[in-house]
Amino acid sequence: MDRRILLASVAGLLGLLSFRWLRAEPAKAAEKFEVEKTDAEWRAQLTPQQYEILRKHGTERPWSSPLLKEHRKGIFACAGCDLPLFSSDTKFDSGTGWPSFFTSIPNHFATSQDHKLMMLRTEYHCARCGGHHGHLFDDGPAPTHERWCNNGLALRFLPSSGKSA
Ligand SMILES: [Zn+2]
């Protein structure tokens, strides 16, 4: 076999292998969730804005959420599946224009990394329905120094007094 042909085929094979490897990278197994619905079912259940946030990783306009002024005792639950996510005891005014919490109810969120806006951010989503809620930062208040920056439209407030929100 001609040496040049051999080298060319080795290079071709390596090229093919690396191409396949690169292609395999984004094809990670999708997370499985207890609540899974079709796109059409989510569109029917959610408002267009909620759909954009929860299912398409959208972000609401800052200062637009009525929950910023919600100071009653209660639970903030997922607007997609009603899983309790935050207690009112952990809510604080971050000054960012989004409802913010210094911790969440354990194991009710899962996280991932995203590179939107050219920086690495920790995205978090509901562990039951996979709905996107917001981003987690490390500049929050004591005791955790966490800042869970959440879209208000992704939450449903359930006051513990029994009065409706
Ligand atoms: Zn959910």
Three-class secondary structure of residue 42 per DSSP: helix
Percent of the chain with pLDDT over 70: 81
Tell me the average pLDDT of the chain. 88
23 band by pLDDT with thresholds 50, 70 and 90: very low
Q: For residue range 39-97, what is the model confidence (pLDDT) as tens digits?
A: 999 999 999 999 999 999 999 999 999 999 999 999 999 999 999 999 999 999 999 99
Could you give the CA distance from residue 164 to residue 158 in angstroms, rounded to a whole number?
7
Q: Could you tell me which residue, 164 or 95, shows the higher pLDDT?
A: 95
Residue 9 has pLDDT above 80, yes or no: no
Instruction: Please give the distance, rounded to the nearest whole angstrom, from the Cα atom of residue 154 to the centre of ligand 1.
Output: 9
The predicted-structure confidence for 104-115, as pLDDT tens digits, reads as follows 999 999 999 988
Q: What is the pLDDT of residue 112?
A: 94
pLDDT at 21: 47
> What per-residue confidence (pLDDT) applies to 114?
83
Instruction: Tell me how far the alpha carbon of residue 6 lies from the centroid of ligand 1, in angstroms.
Output: 56
SS3 100: strand
81 CA distance to ligand 1 middle (Å): 4
Residues catalogued as catalytic:
149
Whether omega before 48 lies within 30 degrees of 0, making that bond cis, reads: no
Give residue 26's pLDDT. 42
Residue 40 φ then ψ, to 5°? -65, -40
pLDDT at 95: 97
Question: Comparing C-alpha atoms, which of 128, 131, 136 is closest to residue 153?
Answer: 131
CA of residue 12 to ligand 1 center, whole Å = 47
Mean pLDDT for 136-160 is: 97
pLDDT score of 17: 54
Residue 154: is its pLDDT beyond 80?
A: yes
In a 13 Å sphere around the CA of 20, the CA atoms on its Cβ side amount to 6
